[in-house]
Structure 1
């Protein structure tokens, strides 16, 4: 156990929980946490972008013009969505 603690930097209880929960799966608890952290970051970024999209939509509705900045924001939204889809695909495999 001591060797695993030193190699992974994880506590004995985390090692045991990972072994019990993921015995049939090579994915460790630390790896699942890292994926969760990445999902949370992507969700926050997507929320910030959605605020920008709402502001751009209000502007477009009020002036009948589609701002050039909207194209940039929508490109970023698509990139985040693609990133989330890639992460989900990796989790399913």
Structure 2
């Protein structure tokens, strides 16, 4: 869930909890609103935490001349901190 999804759930939950004034048999609309707001807050916190986590990548390129053949040789390597999600 992204930050936008969390904000959307908070807004829909607030509308159901505070602005809607009707009843459905066997369903508490206000409780559903509170549950959606809690899920939105949790999604918002997770979205911010994942956004704040940075992935650093180190890229190295080395160029040299092969002493045997005289050709130019380029080596490239990339190192990262963690898995890409």
With the length of structure 2 as denominator, give the TM-score of the two structures. 0.42
Return the structure number with greater strand share: 2
Determine which structure has greater relative contact order: mean sequence separation of CA pairs < 8 Å that are 6+ residues apart, divided by chain length: 2
Return the structure number with greater helix share: 1
Greater Rg by CA: 2
